[in-house]
Structure 1
Amino acid sequence: MQTTRIIATVANVWRQPENIAIDTLALTNTGLQPWLAQLTDADTVTLEQDNRIVTQALFNDVFLVERFVNGWAYGYVLDQTDARHPQGYPGWVWAAQLSTVPLPVLTGPTVTIRWGFTPLLRLDGRTLLTLSLGTELPVISSKDHRYYTVQTPLGTGKIAKRATQFTFKTANLTRGAILVRLGEEFLDLRYLWGGVSAYGFDCSGFVYSLHRSLGIRLPRDAQDQIEQGGAIDLADAQPGDLCFFAHDHGHGAIHHVALYAGDGWLLHAPTPGKHVTYLQLASTYLRDELVVVKRNW
Structure 2
Amino acid sequence: MQTTRIMAAVANVWRQPRTLPIDTSAIANAGLQAWLAQLSDAETVKLERENRIVTQALFNDVFLVERFVDGWAYGYVASQRDDHHLQGYPGWIWAAQLSTVPLPIQTGPTVTIRRGFTPLLKADGRTLLRLSLGTELPVIGSKDHRYYTVQTPLGVAKVAKRATQFGFKTANLTRGATLVRLGETFLDLRYLWGGISAYGFDCSGFVYSLHRCVGIQLPRDAQDQIDKGVAVEREAAQPGDLCFFAHDHGQGAVHHVALYAGDGWILHAPTPGKHVTYLQLATTYLQDELVAIKRNW
TM-score by length of 1: 0.99
- Note the 1:251-266 alignment, pairs <5 A: 251-266=251-266
Shift of 1:282: 0.5
Q: State how far apart, in whole Å, the 1-side matches of 2:70 and 2:19 are.
A: 11
Shift of 1:81: 1.6
Q: State how far apart, in whole Å, the 1-side matches of 2:117 and 2:175 are.
A: 22
Q: Which moved more, 1:256-265 or 1:123-132?
A: 123-132
Shift of 1:84: 1.9
Shift of 1:124: 1.1
CA deviation map 1:69-107 (0-9, x unaligned) = 000000000000232221000000000000000001111
Corresponding residue for residue 242 of structure 1: 242
Shift of 1:279: 0.4
The code of the aligned residue for 1:56 comes to Q
Shift of 1:19: 2.4
Q: What SS class does the counterpart of residue 17 from structure 2 fall into?
A: coil
Q: State how far apart, in whole Å, the 2-side matches of 1:106 and 1:63 are.
A: 17
- Note the 1:1-297 alignment, pairs <5 A: 1-297=1-297
TM-score by length of 2: 0.99
The CA RMSD measured in Å over matched residues stands at 0.5
Q: State how far apart, in whole Å, the 2-side matches of 1:170 and 1:100 are.
A: 38
Q: State how far apart, in whole Å, the 1-side matches of 2:254 and 2:239 are.
A: 21
Structure 2 unaligned residues grouped into runs of 5+: none
The code of the aligned residue for 2:154 comes to L
Q: State how far apart, in whole Å, the 2-side matches of 1:217 and 1:189 are.
A: 23
Q: Which moved more, 1:159-168 or 1:79-88?
A: 79-88
The code of the aligned residue for 2:97 comes to Q
Q: State how far apart, in whole Å, the 2-side matches of 1:116 and 1:229 are.
A: 26
Q: What SS class does the counterpart of residue 151 from structure 1 fall into?
A: strand
Structure 1 unaligned residues grouped into runs of 5+: none
Q: How many residues align?
A: 297
Q: Percent identity?
A: 81
CA deviation map 1:7-60 (0-9, x unaligned) = 000000000011210000001000000000000001100111010000000000
Q: State how far apart, in whole Å, the 1-side matches of 2:128 and 2:44 are.
A: 29
Q: State how far apart, in whole Å, the 1-side matches of 2:176 and 2:12 are.
A: 28
Q: What SS class does the counterpart of residue 79 from structure 1 fall into?
A: helix
Q: State how far apart, in whole Å, the 1-side matches of 2:244 and 2:84 are.
A: 20
The code of the aligned residue for 2:114 comes to R
